[in-house]
Amino acid sequence: MPAPQSPGNADAIRIVGLTKTYAASNGAAPKQAVKGLDLTVPAGSVFGLLGPNGAGKSTTINILAGLVRKTSGKVTIWGFDQDINPRQSRAAIGVMPQELNIDPFLSPRASLEVQAGLYGVPKRERWTDELLELVGLTEQAESYSRHLSGGMKRRLLLAKALVHRPQVLVLDEPTAGVDIQLRDMLWRNVRKLNEQGMTIILTTHYLEEAEEMCDRIAIIDRGELLLCEDTAALLGRADSKTLVVDTGPATAIPTLPEGVHAQRRDDGRLAMSYTPSRIPTDDLIDALRAADLPIRDLAVEAPDLEDVFVQLTSRPTR
Ligand SMILES: Nc1ncnc2c1ncn2[C@@H]1O[C@H](COP(=O)(O)OP(=O)(O)OP(=O)(O)O)[C@@H](O)[C@H]1O
């Protein structure tokens, strides 16, 4: 697949002042799902859009995909303003949705051909065989899609999102409820496509996955942006560490500096959580020595994205 052309600037997506209010229906009040969102996704990045349930992630993605009409704001995809150049901005993005919206009576090959037709991809520019190969559906190419397993349907959705060779690929919760093999296949493909120059945007509830895959992460909550940073910088924000020490057969917890939270883990090791900006690691070691505890082995556990997320939103992801 040829590397996507540059958008003429460094941003794959630019969102300015985006709002979305769903109209009142069935007695429910109008719902403002997105409240003035500003967001920029650099070209070539793997970008994570995270947030608790109801944060406005799907609404934002559906606006990018042209499936939901924004209330106000400006959305530019690969340099094309959605309002001024709707066709080009739509052609620059491919979306793998959460729902398995596949025509059960079409084969995977026919689904891809129909999708290519919808995007106006000329026959000679189609890459149906390559796509089937990419997602591992060559053998099932001519079967009815209704006979595919759930995992195979998801793979077909990925292929469908790619028929028009978009510069930006959006994956909405791509691994929710999928098995490890499919997850590995997805991430291998995502890495490959990204190496070829495609910008990837993904939402996920699995923070380890975001931490591993994304080089930049935005966290939104209640329709507003809480932060948008490189993953490494984001992880550096959490001012917490855990010192885990094998103190031998001892079970008592020694006197430790104030503010240290200590517990014995199931394997007998002493785990001490502390705030490194306030309590030097040395003070913990000194406290163990003062209590005559041997230090047979020790490890420092760094904070992960889950810690940062909970600190920022005061809620777990689910
Ligand atoms: N069609 C709709 N009509 C009315 N309200 C809606 C509609 N779609 C979403 N909402 C509301 O808008 C808010 C944002 O929803 P959205 O689906 O964008 O969040 P999300 O971050 O994707 O959440 P999740 O992680 O649960 O998928 C929620 O309060 C939701 O109930």
* pLDDT tens per residue, range 199-248: 999 998 888 888 889 999 999 999 999 999 999 888 777 777 899 999 98
Residue 145, in any domain of the structure: no
Domain shared by 262 and 315, yes or no: no
Cβ of 31 closer than 6 Å to ligand 1, yes or no, is yes
| 135 within domain boundaries | no
Q: Are 248 and 296 within one domain?
A: yes
What is the percent of the chain with per-residue pLDDT over 90, rounded to a whole number? 63
309 and 214 share a domain? yes
Q: Is 134 part of a structural domain of the chain?
A: no
Q: Average per-residue pLDDT in the chain?
A: 89
pLDDT at 3 over 50: no
Answer whether 53 contacts ligand 1 (Cβ < 6 A): yes
The pLDDT of 157-178, averaged and rounded, is 92
When pLDDT is cut at 50, 70 and 90, the band that residue 180 belongs to is confident
- Is residue 257 included in any domain, yes or no? yes
Average pLDDT for 137-162: 90
Does any domain span residue 160? Answer: no
Same domain, yes or no, for 217 and 314?
Answer: yes
Does residue 315 belong to any structural domain of this protein? yes
Task: Determine whether the shortest distance from the Cβ of 222 to ligand 1 is under 6 A.
Answer: no
Residues 6+ apart with CB under 8 A from 40: 11, 13, 14, 15, 228
**Residue 222: which CATH number?**
3.40.50.300
pLDDT at residue 103 above 50? yes
Predicted confidence (pLDDT) at residue 187 exceeds the cutoff of 70: yes
The pLDDT value recorded for residue 316 is 52
Same domain, 294 and 316: no
CATH at 289: 3.30.70
**Domain of residue 37, residue span:** 1-92+168-175+197-235+305-318
Q: ipTM exceeding 0.90? A: yes
pLDDT tens track for 145-156: 888 888 889 999
306 C-alpha vs ligand 1 centroid, how far in Å?
22
Among 21, 31, 53, 204, residue to substitute to test ligand 1 (most atoms within 8 Å of Cβ): 31
Given a cut of 50, whether residue 2 has pLDDT beyond it is no
Q: Per the structure, how many domains does the chain have?
A: 2
Atom of ligand 1 at shortest distance to CA of 68?
1
